[in-house]
Every structure is written in structure tokens, then in C-alpha cells.
Amino acid sequence: MSDAPPPVVTLDRRRLTALRSGVLLVRDDPVVFRVTGPGALPCLQGLLTNDLDKPGDGSLVYGALLTPKGMIVADLWVLRHAETSFTLLAPARARESTLEIFQRSLPPRLARATEVTDTDAALRVLGPKAAERMAAAGLPLPDSVGRLSPAPLEAGEVAVLRPQDAAPFRALVVGTREAVDAAAERLLDAGVPEAGAEAAEAAHILAGWPALGSEIGERTLPQEVRYDEIGGLSYTKGCYTGQETVARLHFRGHTNRELRGLVWLTDDPLEGETIYRDGKDVGRVRSQLRLPNRVIGLATLRREVEPDETVLAGGQEARVVPLPFPDDAIGR
């Protein structure tokens, strides 16, 4: 196993202030799928970790596709237009694996998955002033989670959705590329500054939200990366691929590793990703964020390592903290 240090995300003071007390616009670059057909709802219910039935039409749900052994293949945001029509947003790196699952698992007479990435796009609005600025731009944020119009979007329209409170963004805007670009211009005109991908990556670290390719690897179980805390699992909806492992962990056991935060006591570069406590290998650094006055990151740690303990993470001393990061761990 490689012990190279994880990639480093850097956030300047202006962007940090916007994330914590202001607002930012990030143009997303997901893979977009449309799943339609008379059996779209039951077919997706049998694949996703979360419940798509109970929230009803107009909902926004976060979940994952799993292997039969319960390991995460891809994480997705799912927009339910109707029982027969869904839009799904997946990370770009999960395109092939997601498409392969749909091709293998969706019976064509019941449900079809079509990639619409060339025509559809999304943007995210980050920061606590998102609702205020979006209202000023004529893109009001719904009062409750999700709540797009159940009817198909007309040309030039966008769906404006609210995620759950734990999410690393405050609003999701989805539609055709032309409509999303027009919405972005309205937000810019309303005084919402635009930021790049690093701001979105910083937001997910600050929120303790796992990302595919860093916190989520090929052998990651949902409960190892806070899916219970962030609302990515249902234990009541019935069977889905990988559900047996997920349920067994929930009702009869626990994971050996958990996602935790780290605050380094030095700003020296890391020497690998391995984490030691008292000379014993107890985990891996998964992501690192350099803030103006400190360095923080996310790590998978053995569950016996408690918050406030000091570990040697990537060759540098660091303090373990709970997630999401408390204010005193982020600093000013």
C-alpha cells in the first residue's frame, strides 16, 4: 500500500470567511443521469442506500450505490420528479461504475438510465447567507429539504433545492446547461462571488462530509464515513444491494474504523498518510486542508482512538476532533 501524503487543499482567508459567514457560488461538474420508466422508483429503491419512496415527489435524497458486500461504489444526489422520473448526480470519477450498475441492474421494460451530462448541469451555493442572496437573485430557496416542482422542467427553468442541514452546501441548482448558466449570472449580479473546485473541497472537509476518491475508497463501508450522521442510509425501506452488510453492522455490531477530524500542531508537510498512536498503526489521513492559521483534515481512525487524543499523522503531531469540525478547531 502506498504511503504518499494526500492531496492538499488550500483556502485563503477571504474564501474561509465566505464559507463560514457569507456565500459562495461553485459551478458543479457532476455526471448527470436521467432514470425514467414505469418501474423507476422500485428499481432505484433496490439499488440506493436511502429511501426514495417516503420523501415523495419533489424530494432531494443523498445515498450511495454499493457492492453486494456493502462497499461504496458511488455516492449520488437523487432528485425525484415523479415515481417514473428521476435525475441523479454522481461524481465524475464514478461515471463508468455507475453506468455499469444501471446497465446491469435496470430492466429496460421497467426503467432506463440515460446520461444527460452533455445537456444538463448543476451549481452549488455555499455559506449561511445562501438563502438571502438567492432570494435577491429571484431564485428563492425552499423552506424544507428538496421541494422542486414535481412536473418536468420547462425549457429555461432550473430546479432549486435545499439539502439536509449536514450537507457541505446550502442550495443545489439543476437544469439544462443554458438555464444553469443563466441562474449563475443572476447570482453573480446579486453579489454572490464565484469560487473554484477547491472551495467545494474545503466545504466538504469542514463539514466532515466524505468524498469519493479521498474518504471513500474501494473497500469503504457507509458507516465508516458517517453515513448515519449525514443521512445517507435507511434501515426501514427494505432490501437493496449491499443492505445485508449495512443492516448487520447497524443492528449487531460496529465498524472498526470511523471518520474523524484532525488538527495538526505544526504546518510542516506530511510524510505519508499513516497515523500512529503509541507506535501502533491506527489509521490513514484522507484529506488535508490548509487554512490561514492552521492545517486540518479528515482521517479514518480505529474507533478506540478518542477525540482530544494526540496522534502522529503523516509524521506530524495532530489532535483528533469530532465532526463536523467545531469552531475552535477551525480558528479565525
| pLDDT per position as a tens digit, 107-139 | 999 999 999 999 999 999 999 999 999 999 999
Give the three-state DSSP class for 198: helix
d(CA 270, CA 246) in angstroms, rounded, equals 34
- Which segments of 40-106 does DSSP mark as H helices, in order? 40-45, 95-105
State the first-to-last Cα distance of the chain, in angstroms, to the nearest integer: 36
Q: 169 or 154: which carries more pLDDT confidence?
A: 169
Average pLDDT of span 221-242: 96
Average pLDDT of span 311-316: 97
CA–CA distance from 142 to each of 111, 128, 185 (Å)?
A: 29, 15, 20
What pLDDT is stored for residue 162 in this prediction?
Answer: 95
Q: What is the number of residues in the chain?
A: 332
What pLDDT is stored for residue 254 in this prediction?
Answer: 83
Strand partners, 275: 283, 313
What pLDDT is stored for residue 250 in this prediction?
Answer: 87
Strand partners, 121: 175
Mean pLDDT score across all residues of the chain: 94
d(CA 267, CA 316) in angstroms, rounded, equals 9
What pLDDT is stored for residue 149 in this prediction?
Answer: 61
Residues 6+ away with beta carbon under 8 Å from 215: 225, 259, 286, 287, 298, 300
What pLDDT is stored for residue 108 in this prediction?
Answer: 95
How many Cβ atoms from other residues are within 10 Å of residue 65's Cβ? 25
**How confident is residue 49, by pLDDT bands cut at 50, 70 and 90?**
very high
Q: Tell me the pLDDT tens digit for each residue of 177-220.
A: 999 999 999 999 999 999 999 999 999 999 999 999 999 998 99
d(CA 247, CA 49) in angstroms, rounded, equals 11
Q: 227-231 long-range CB contacts below 8 Å, 24 or more apart? A: 227/49, 227/64, 229/166, 229/323, 230/62, 230/164, 230/166, 230/167, 231/50, 231/62, 231/164, 231/166
**Predicted confidence (pLDDT) at residue 87 exceeds the cutoff of 90:** yes
Nearest 5°: phi and psi at 3? -120, 40
Q: Tell me the pLDDT tens digit for each residue of 28-46.
A: 889 999 999 999 999 999 9
How many Cβ atoms from other residues are within 10 Å of residue 40's Cβ? 24
**Predicted confidence (pLDDT) at residue 81 exceeds the cutoff of 60:** yes
Share of the chain above pLDDT 70, in %: 96
**How confident is residue 150, by pLDDT bands cut at 50, 70 and 90?**
low
For 26, the grid coordinates are 461553485
Q: Tell me the pLDDT tens digit for each residue of 157-182.
A: 899 999 999 999 999 999 999 999 99
What pLDDT is stored for residue 206 in this prediction?
Answer: 97
For 40, the grid coordinates are 423507476
**Predicted confidence (pLDDT) at residue 19 exceeds the cutoff of 80:** yes
Nearest 5°: phi and psi at 157? -90, 155
What pLDDT is stored for residue 313 in this prediction?
Answer: 97
What pLDDT is stored for residue 146 in this prediction?
Answer: 77
What pLDDT is stored for residue 3 in this prediction?
Answer: 77
Strand partners, 33: 88, 115
- Return the DSSP state at 222: G
For 158, the grid coordinates are 432550473
**How confident is residue 154, by pLDDT bands cut at 50, 70 and 90?**
low
How many Cβ atoms from other residues are within 10 Å of residue 166's Cβ? 16
